Structures are given as C-alpha cells and as structure tokens.
Amino acid sequence: MALNGHVLVLNQNYEPMTICHVKKAFVLVFLGKAEIIEIAEGRSIRSVSHEYPFPSIVRLMSFVYKKRKGIMLSRKNILKRDNYQCQYCGTRTDAMTVDHILPKVRGGKDAWENLVTACITCNNKKGDRTPDEARMVLMTTPRRPHPLSFIQGHASGHYDNWKQYLFMS
C-alpha cells in the first residue's frame, strides 16, 4: 500500500508538535525515536516479510524543546486563516485575493493584522481606501493565528481520532 497520508506528531508530554507524512513517522517509529499512539484502521505498511501498523498519531520518546515560531505570513496562510471566505461579504469563490485594510500606498504594512481575504468584487470596491471610507465592514478582526489552529484545521473532517489531542472534543 502506498505511504499516503498524514500523521499527528506529539511531544513526549502529548503536546501537539506538527504534522508529518506517514513515511517520516514510520522512520521515527522504526528507529525508536517515536511510538505509535493510534493506528489508521484497515491500513498497514508491508515489506517483503513483515506487515507493520499504519500510524495515525505518534509520540516522540524524548522531549523536544521547540521554540514556538509564528506561522509564516503568506497569501496561502491568510486565506487559510480566513477559511477562504471574503471578510467583507462572506462569499467563497475560487478567485480570492488578499486585501490590505490600510492600503500600502497609505503606509499599510504586510502584517497579519492588516491583511484579510477578499473577493475580487469587494477588493475592487474598496480600492485604495480604508473599510470605513468605503463604507464596508469587516466580519472579523484579523489576528495572528495560533500554530495549533492550523493543525486543528487540518484535522477537521479528516482525522477524527486526532481531535482529543488537539483540544477539539
């Protein structure tokens, strides 16, 4: 069976660390650096002579001190934070843009707090004005996302067995 899929990686204290591919998780387990906490039912990893459980959640055997880096500011991550929804009108289309609340030409910075997802119509309507000047209201106040929220977003609807480790149940 192909090694397609993702695995939730927990620190030794069961704190969510990251998501990795099955191949990486299997190598960690095989080398004794991690243990399987939960397996993917009905799936296995086969070699010529052995059959191994297909990991869904692994826990590292030793504690890893990881300095929490913020999530990188990018177009993809702005869209993901806003759930691919226009923050002015609430629509979802395939062609979403990223809008500066305070336009760059007026000193607006590339920052989590100044960038939102917008549909093309709303972005064109707003133009080089602030939302107040354009008489438009933001649905939410943009904030820097917590790293756990991105892991939770990945688990939603796909990996129900991850939820208890991601504070979602």
CATH of the domain at 97: 1.10.30.50
pLDDT digits (tens, 9 = 90+) for 73-91: 999 999 999 999 999 999 9
* Dihedral of the alpha carbons of 118, 122, 128, 129, in degrees to the nearest 10: -100
User: What are 154-164's pLDDT values in tens digits?
Assistant: 777 667 888 89
Same domain, 63 and 79: no
Give the domain range for residue 63: 6-67+147-165
- Does the predicted model carry a pTM greater than 0.85? no
Say yes or no: 55 and 12 in one domain.
yes
The verdict on residue 82 lying in a domain is yes
Instruction: Please tell me whether residues 111 and 158 are part of one structural domain.
Output: no
What's residue 157's pLDDT?
65
| pLDDT higher than 60, residue 19 | yes
Residue at 34: amino acid letter: A
Average pLDDT (88-108) is 96
Please tell me the total count of domains within the chain. 2
